[in-house]
Copies of this chain bind each other. A is one copy, B any other.
Amino acid sequence: MADITLVGAGLVGALEALYLSRLGLKVDVYERRSDIRKAKLYEGRSINLALSDRGWAALEEVGLAEEVRKIAIPMYKRTMHSSEGQLSYQAYGKESQAIYSVSRGKLNLLLIEAADSAQNTRFFFEHRCEAVDLQSKTLKFSNPQNQEISHNYQRLIGSDGAFSAIRQALMFQDRFNFQQFYIEHGYKELTIPPAPDGGFLMEKETLHIWPRGSFMLIALPNPDATFTCTLFFPFEGPVSFEQLKTEQQIRDFFNQTFPDVVPLIPDLVEQYQRNPSSSLVTVRCKPWNYKDEVLVLGDAAHAIVPFYGQGMNAGFEDCRLLHHMLNQRKHQWEGLFPAYAEWRQPDGVAISELALRNFIEMRDRTADPSFLLQKKIEARFAERHPNKWLPLYSMVTFSHTPYSEALAKGEAQEAIMQNIMQLPDIENRWDSPEIEHAILQQLPS
């Protein structure tokens, strides 16, 4: 029997399989989709990925960082596009700091190849988990031939995503707390093609945002010189997917709202009508484990909205921290799942909350000059007092500060900055010693 059975070979499952295979354990991995190495079309979610420090740290540990870096495009700043087509900018961090646009499919492929090369790891694709029996430790799968396959597990890890079958089994345990909720907005993807000369039609190494208050469009660069755009938009209401149906409605809306995007996408209306409008779910649950026997990781434990670019990063960090704890315990698995689950769960809740809040920042506040000034003041202060202030975005994206700590510190920072922004003549004095002093005074000693 395998030492560890994994259900789900998406990004997090494949990384976890790789971590486990590095330990020489016998690992069986079951995946609902077909083998990405053989498939013509990638069946997974296509929403853009932004790899940042937490993700990189895990990739470093399993020795894949260098290879991934070859397919990653750094984005050093946000570029905001106004309705008049004017651009403004906000650096993500210090000069060399960036988040990285990567292809979900290619990254998944690299991880599966690396994990599958280990001798004791077996992958079973096109196996859909149909039932989990926690008492008899049995999994039932179906394959495309509709055969029923039974599998006994010793320890089970569910990395099977937001609608996890493994978590579903935990739900019937007494005192299992669970929440799934959808925001009012959905998303639709659109593609900006390469320029006639094969180059990029907009600046490459940046994340483009068209903030429009209650909704937004973003665009991330791909290695083939396309941009994947995502429109985050209400499902219902006066300005919503529901209201944009006809060619004329779609064309009018884009002309008015994103005029600088229209000339970049010749088949805009066709893409809009062809591509689905998908929903955005948040999942919170507790506990993440069943006894010493079952654990959920990644989206299965904490599906979040994509607005902090942390979904994959949080899942990768799950794996890194789980194995860090296993190391600390000198590779004794007894008690690992309960201890890890209890310790890490608040960070899953925190990043789901941060991700929800960042939607408002991206779609609304980044269009506000006063917000951009606030961020500039914070960045300057952080530069001068790196031990006293790390901006929230940097804590989440460029540090390994636990998400729950980042959330609490970020709230304290925001309270201070609200006071600072009300000081008279802040627009001109923002870089003065008085402002620096005013921030210092408000910090806890």
**Would you mind naming 8 contact pairs between A and B with Cβ atoms under 8 Å apart?**
A171-B180, A174-B279, A175-B182, A175-B279, A176-B180, A177-B180, A179-B179, A179-B181
Q: Give chain B residues whose Cβ lies under 8 Å from the Cβ of A179.
A: 178-181
Q: How far is the CA of A176 from the CA of B174 in the complex (A)?
A: 22
Given contacts A174-B182, A179-B180, 14 further A-B contacts (CB under 8 A): A163-B172, A171-B180, A174-B279, A175-B235, A175-B279, A176-B182, A177-B180, A177-B181, A178-B178, A178-B179, A178-B180, A178-B181, A179-B179, A179-B181
Number of copies: 2
Within 8 A of B (CB), among A295-350: none
**Separation in Å of the A240 CB from the closest CB of chain B?**
14
**Separation in Å of the A140 CB from the closest CB of chain B?**
14
Q: Give chain B residues whose Cβ lies under 8 Å from the Cβ of A235.
A: 175
Q: Give chain B residues whose Cβ lies under 8 Å from the Cβ of A171.
A: 180
Q: Give chain B residues whose Cβ lies under 8 Å from the Cβ of A182.
A: 174-177
Interface size class of A (residues with CB under 8 A): 10 to 19
**Separation in Å of the A188 CB from the closest CB of chain B?**
14
Q: Give chain B residues whose Cβ lies under 8 Å from the Cβ of A176.
A: 180, 182
Question: 1/0 per residue A269-283: CB within 8 Å of B?
Answer: 000000000010000
Q: How far is the CA of A359 from the CA of B442 in the complex (A)?
A: 39
Please name the 4 residue pairs, one residue from A and one from B, whose CB atoms are nearest each other, closest first.
A179-B179, A177-B181, A175-B182, A175-B279
Q: How far is the CA of A182 from the CA of B172 in the complex (A)?
A: 12
Question: 1/0 per residue A167-195: CB within 8 Å of B?
Answer: 00001101111111110000000000000
**Separation in Å of the A162 CB from the closest CB of chain B?**
12
